[in-house]
Structure 1
Amino acid sequence: MNIDFFIQDSSSKFIEIRGEDKAEFLQGLISNDIYKCKNDKPIYSCFLSPQGKFLADFFIFRQNDNYVIEIHEKYFESFLSKLKIYKLRSNVILKHNENITSIILFTNKDFEIKDTIIKFIDPRKKNIGKKVYINNKNLPKIDNLEEMYFNKYKEILMKNLVPFTPDDLNENKSLLLENNFQNLNAIDWDKGCYVGQEITARMKYRSLIKKQIYNLEIISGNINIGDSIEINNNKVGYVISKVNNYILCMLSIKSANTIIENKTNLEINDSIILNFL
C-alpha cells in the first residue's frame, strides 16, 4: 500500500452476550457458525427473518469468554429487541457496551494502538482492511497514520463487491444470495438450522437467483442512485448506490453475463458508458 491510513467507524454499536447458553442461543439465530468464532478469529454473520430476508449484519468476537457483537447503529435497536424476544428462558445476558471504539486499518506495518482488544483481517475479503477494536470510547492518538473519511472506506468496499448494508440493502426485503454474501464468509452451509436458513439454502441448491449485485466504474456520462439501467429499451437493473466514480447495481445475471463474456462496456442511451470491475 502506498499510504498508511485508518478510518474510524463511529456508527458502530456493541452488544455483549454472556451466560451459559450464549453459544447455543446465537447458533440458532445467525447465518454463520458461532463455534468458528475463537479468541483470535472473529466471524462475520447475518440475522434473517423467518422468510430469509435480510435484517442485519455484524461481526462477532470473543472477549473474556463472552461474545461481543459489532453492529451498525441503524440495526442496533431492532436487533437487540429481537434478541430479547428469542432469549425466552435461555441463560443469556445481553448488555450494551458503550466503551469500545472500532477502526479500520489500511497498512502492511504493525502499528501498536493503545487499549487494543483485538486486531484482525476483515473476514469478508483480505484487501478491505484490518479491523481493530479499542477498549476506550475515545479514540486514542494514532501516530504515523493518516485518518481518512468514511466515504473512502465505502469506495473500497464497493470496488471489492462488499455491500455497505445500511445503504445498499433493504431490511426485510433483500436476499443474501442476491447481494454476494455467499462470497463474504457470512454463511455456513453445513451448520444446523437457524432463522431463515431453509429459504436461503433452497435458493442456493435450486439455483433460484436471477439477479445479483455488480460493481461498475463510470467511464463517461452521469448516472445516479435509483436510475434504471436499460439495454435496447429493456430494463435489466437499477443503481443501488454510488461512491465517486463507482456504482453498485442490481442486474439481471443473464444480461450481465452476456456483456461480460463479450468483453464490452455497458452503454446506456448512447451517453453513459459503464465498465464492469
Structure 2
Amino acid sequence: MLSDWQAFLQQAGASLTAGQVEHFGAPVAERAAALQGDIVVDLSHFGLLRVEGPDALTFMQGQFTNDVRQVNANHSQLSGHLSPKGRLLNVFRLFQRDGAYYLRMPAVLVQPALERLRKYVLMSKVTLSDAGDSLLRIGVSGPHAYARLVQELDHMPQTADEVAHGKGLTVVRVAGPHPRAEVYGEAASIRALWQNLATVAKPAGASAWALLDIHAGLPNIFPANVEAFVPQMVNLQLVNGVSFRKGCYTGQEVVARMQYLGTLKRRMYLAHTDGETVPAPGTELYCSNSESGQGAGRVVDAQPAPGGGVDLLAVVQISLLNDEVRIGDAAGARITFKSPPYAFPAEAQDTGS
C-alpha cells in the first residue's frame, strides 16, 4: 500500500528520500505556509505500532507514562516509554481505531520499540506488531484545510487530543498555531481526501510538519536522544503526556522523585538561531558557564525558519538562559530562547525565557 501511495505522491510532485517526502518543489514556501496558511502533509515518516489483545490495556498501563485508561475511541494522548532509569526511549501519540491501539512515533523507532516492549509481554495476552503498512497517515493544518476536513465527518475534534471517526477515517486533533489534525485511513479514503484538501491547502514535506511541532512545543525523540532526557526535561507533563496518579510503570520512581522531591535543572525551550546550518537532534549546546562535564544542553529537533535562520526545540540548563549559549561549540550560532506556547510551573518562570 505504501509503495502505491508514494507513487501517487510523486505524481503530485513530491520529492522523496528513503520514503520520506522532503518537499513538493518549494520547501521554503511550504514551511512559510505551515506557519501562515494551510498545508497537507504525508506523515509516512511516522510509523505505527499496533497493540491488541485482551490484556492490551493492562500491559500498556504498566509501561507508559500516561494513564492509558483515558484513551478511547474519542480521546488520544501523548505518552512516553522509559528505561528503568526513567530516561525516555520514545515519545508517541496513542489512539484507538477498530478496537486496537496504535502508537504513532518516528518510523525509525518502531522496530526498537517492538523489541523492548516484547521483553515485557511474558504471559500477557497481547499482540504487538508493526502497522506501518496497514494505515496511511496525513497531516492537515490551517483554517481552510480544517474546514474542508470538517465536511468529511459529521463531528470533528475541537480540542487537542480529541478523536473522531467516519468514512473510513480517524481524525486526531493535535496542538498547533492553527487547527491541526493527523488523519489515518485506508488507501482509497486517504487518497480521495488528499485530492480534496490539495485544492485549498499547499502540499508540503515532512519539514513543514516538524516546524509546526516545534512551534507547538511538542517533543519528538529521535535515535540520537534516546535515553537523554527524563520526561520533565522535554515538558512532557505540560502537554498532558504524564500521569502522576496512575500507579507504577517502568521508570516511574525516577519521574515521581523528580516531580515531588527533585529540582529540575534542565528544561526544553523554543529557540532560534540566525545560523543557516540546521543542527541535528542530539547536537550539544555550548556555554562557558555550563556545569562542569555536563554541557549546556542538546537539540531536540530543528528546522529552517521561513524568515531565515533556524527554529528549534532544545533542552538547556535553566540557569544559563540569560548567558551566551551556542550550537556545538564557542564558534557556533548563538541561540535565543523563549518559552513554548504553554505555561511553565511557577517555580521555573523566574529563571528566564
Aligned pair partner of 1:156 in 192, 203, 212: 212
Pick the aligned partner of 1:188 from 223, 226, 243: 243
Q: From the superposition, tell whether residues 116 and 202 of structure 1 become closer, same or farther in structure 2 (CA, over 3 Å).
A: same
Pairing 1:5–2:70 present: no
Q: Which runs of 5+ in 1 are unaligned?
A: 260-264
Alignment length (residue pairs): 264
Say whether residues 1:21 and 2:41 are aligned partners.
Answer: no
**Residues 247 and 107 of structure 1, relative CA distance in 2, 3 Å threshold:** closer
Q: Distance in 1 between matches of 2:221 and 2:188?
A: 24
1:224 offset after TM fit, Å?
A: 5.9
**Equivalent of residue 270 in structure 2, options 196, 215, 219:** 215
2:67 is matched with which residue?
Answer: 33
Match of 1:89 in 2: 123
1:18 Cα deviation from its structure 2 partner: 2.1
Q: Which residue does the alignment assign to 1:70?
A: 104
Query: Counterpart of 2:341?
Result: none
2:136 corresponds to which residue? 101
- Do the aligned partners of residues 13 and 254 (structure 1) sit closer, same or farther apart at CA in structure 2, a change above 3 Å counting? same
Paired letter, 2:107: E
Q: How far apart, CA to CA, are the structure 2 residues paired with 1:126 and 1:156?
A: 6
Aligned partners of 2:211 and 2:112: how far apart in 1? 27
Q: CA deviation at 1:15?
A: 2.7
| Counterpart for residue 275 of structure 1 | 336
Aligned to 1:202: 257
TM-fit CA distance, 1:184: 1.6
Give the 3 Å change call, closer, same or farther, for CA 227–21 of structure 1 in structure 2.
closer
Which residue in the other structure is 1:173 paired with?
Answer: 228
How far residue 239 of structure 1 moved from its aligned partner, in angstroms, is: 5.0
Looking at structure 2, the residues matched to 227 and 81 of structure 1 have their Cα atoms a distance apart, in angstroms, of: 28
For 1:187 and 1:254, locate their aligned partners in 2 and report how far apart those are by CA, in whole Å.
25
Distance 1:224 1:118, change over 3 A: closer
**How many angstroms does 1:266 deviate by?**
5.5
Alpha-carbon offset, residue 47 of structure 1: 0.7
User: Displacement of 1:151 after TM fit?
Assistant: 0.8
Aligned CA distance change for structure 1 residues 139 and 23 (closer, same or farther; 3 Å): same
The change in CA–CA distance for 1:206 and 1:135 in structure 2 (over 3 A counts) is: same
| CA separation of 1:267 and 1:49: change in aligned 2, threshold 3 A | closer
Structure 2: stretches of 5+ with no match in the other structure: 1-34, 154-165, 305-309, 339-353
Cα distance in 1 for partners of 2:106, 2:236 equals 17
Instruction: Report the Cα offset of residue 55 of structure 1.
Output: 0.9
Mapped contact 1:15–1:69 kept (Cα < 8 A): yes
TM-score (norm 1): 0.83
Question: In the alignment, which of 164, 167, 171 is matched to residue 119 of structure 1?
Answer: 171
User: CA distance change for structure 1 residues 216 and 14 in 2, over 3 Å: closer, same or farther?
Assistant: closer
Question: Higher helix share goes to which structure?
Answer: 2
Q: How big is the shift at 1:206?
A: 1.6
Q: Which residue in the other structure is 2:303 paired with?
A: 243
Residues 101 and 137, structure 1, Cα contact 8 Å, conserved in 2: no
Number of the residue aligned with 1:262: none
Letter in 2 for 1:255: L
One-letter code aligned to 2:202: E
| Counterpart secondary structure, 2:48 | strand
Partners of 2:48 and 2:130 within 8 A in 1: yes
Aligned equivalents of 2:134, 2:82: Cα separation in 1: 27
- Describe the SS at the equivalent of 1:82: helix
Higher strand fraction: Structure 1 or Structure 2? 1
- 1:162: Cα distance to partner? 2.0
What do you get for the CA RMSD once the two structures are aligned? 2.8
2:52·2:126 contact (CA, 8 Å) conserved in 1?
Answer: yes
Identical aligned pairs, as a percentage? Answer: 20
How far apart in 1 are the matches of 2:284 and 2:126?
Answer: 46
Q: Secondary structure of 2:120's match?
A: helix
Equivalent pair of 1:213/1:248 in contact (CA under 8 Å): yes
Asked if the contact 2:258/2:264 (under 8 Å) is kept, the reply is yes
CA distance in 1, matches of 2:134, 2:278: 38
